[in-house]
Amino acid sequence: QQLPPSSKSERKCLQEGSETSRPQFPGASAEFVDQLEFIQPNVISGIPVYRVMDRQGNIINPSQDPQLSKETVLNFYQKMTLLNTMDRILYESQRQGRISFYMTNYGEEGTHVGSAAALDPSDMVFGQYREAGVLMYRGFPLDLFMAQCYANADDLGKGRQMPVHYGCKDLNFVTISSPLATQIPQAAGAAYAIKRENRNRAVVCYFGEGAASEGDAHAGFNFSATLECPLIFFCRNNGYAISTPTNEQYRGDGIAARGPGYGMLSIRVDGNDVFAVYNATKEARRRAVAENQPFLIEAMTYRIGHHSTSDDSSAYRSVDEVNYWDKQDHPISRLRHYMMARGWWSEDDERSWRKQSRKTVMEAFERAEKRLKPNPELLFTDVYEEMTPHLSKQRESMWRHMQQYKEHYPLDLYEK
């Protein structure tokens, strides 16, 4: 039988021996083992999906009900359906040759509105390209959505961007950029700057699960964790990166499973449940600001529409698959069930609102189509405070060219 150490020196020797037997490597916290064993990728059985409502709009656990007012819930629903209506009209507009390009948000409306509602208006948003609902919830008017897609004189971007590349400085929504995932390290930098300013603000960065395969995602995740930034990474896992399904994109357990490897708190939510998205984003936002640390939210949803007007998704997925999500598990219908069960919405309300929202969108559409295009001079402004000699030469060359071939340039359609 081993006797207990009889003196402080003996106890100290045992304690030191125990400490030296632990790994002292600076890069990890672990124990030694004497058995050869590789860590299995399925060491845990899938990160669970947090939800508040079932598919019929019933609250599952009353303690998780956000207890939002009737007015707030109606605003959620009207923004989601207005976005849906705008998508249908602008998609058809592109098909008729009126605009050059469009991307719909069908099926992902809950991720937009639920997250946007949980943020503070001062929080900075970095989007990918399928987050128009976030901007709409913040108050971006239909006229400016239309102006951007038509690249007319009212466009805040002065007609320099392709359609759906929205941005609004006043609403803290950074202009969309086409290359995938560039916004992720940019968001980390912005969040670090906000942290250094010691303001009560956060940054939210949206991206799809396809963009998470880009190297920029690694850089953004790692910078934000090591620099302890108030940042919410919001991944819309909608099943497809254009035509590539998730089972060909990664072998691990989705995107949320990557968070712990970077030292980030992570959660997976039902992206078709607007209340689950709201709860998760609200808590992540509160803690990100209070604790100066990043959070990763993976919202599981489904892209019902084609990737864009340049895509035909029938080439890589079945109509039955799309119909299931459109008819059986849609965020809009789920919220409608919730409201109707409480007597907050009726079939008459639905018909009236659909008619009204379509009329509102069509009026904005018609106004945008009639507006002039921006002055061609704007091609050369906003890069330098004063125009440089080489830009002046390019501008003169442009005007000579347009005068020489003026039959091809209907300048009466442009602002003077």
What is the 8-class DSSP label of residue 229? -
Residues 260 and 195 in one domain: yes
In a domain, 248, yes or no: yes
Residues 75 and 204 in one domain: yes
In a domain, 30, yes or no: no
Question: Which one-letter amino acid corresponds to residue 145?
Answer: F
Residues 365 and 380 in one domain: no
In a domain, 47, yes or no: no
Q: What is the pLDDT of residue 6?
A: 55
Question: 195 is in which domain, residue-wise?
Answer: 62-370
Residues 96 and 207 in one domain: yes
- Largest Cα–Cα separation, the chain: 105
Q: What is the pLDDT of residue 30?
A: 86
Q: What is the pLDDT of residue 27?
A: 83
In the chain, which stretches have pLDDT less than 70?
1-20, 43
Residues 381 and 243 in one domain: no
Look at the alpha carbons of 51, 54, 57, 61 in this order and tell me if their dihedral is positive or negative.
negative
Q: Is 34 exposed, middle or buried (0-12, 13-18, 19+ CB in 10 A)?
A: exposed
211-218 contact pairs (CB < 8 A, 24+): 211/128, 211/180, 211/181, 211/184, 211/241, 212/181, 212/250, 212/255, 212/258, 213/241, 213/249, 213/250, 214/180, 214/181, 214/184, 215/181, 216/180, 216/181, 216/182, 216/184, 216/185, 217/181, 217/184
Residues 182 and 235 in one domain: yes
Residues 229 and 322 in one domain: yes
Which sequence positions are flagged as catalytic? 92, 178, 307-308
Q: Tokens 């709409």 belong to which residue?
A: 136
Residues 393 and 366 in one domain: no
Identify the domain boundary among 370, 385, 403: 370
In a domain, 220, yes or no: yes
Q: Is 171 exposed, middle or buried (0-12, 13-18, 19+ CB in 10 A)?
A: middle
Distances (CA, A) of 297 to 71, 174, 273, 276, 280: 27, 20, 14, 11, 8
Residues 215 and 82 in one domain: yes
In a domain, 55, yes or no: no
In a domain, 322, yes or no: yes
Residues 153 and 183 in one domain: yes
The CATH number of the domain holding residue 294 is 3.40.50.970
Total structural domains within the chain: 2
In tens, the pLDDT along 335-392 reads 999 999 999 999 999 999 999 999 999 999 999 999 999 999 999 999 899 999 999 9
Q: What is the pLDDT of residue 355?
A: 98
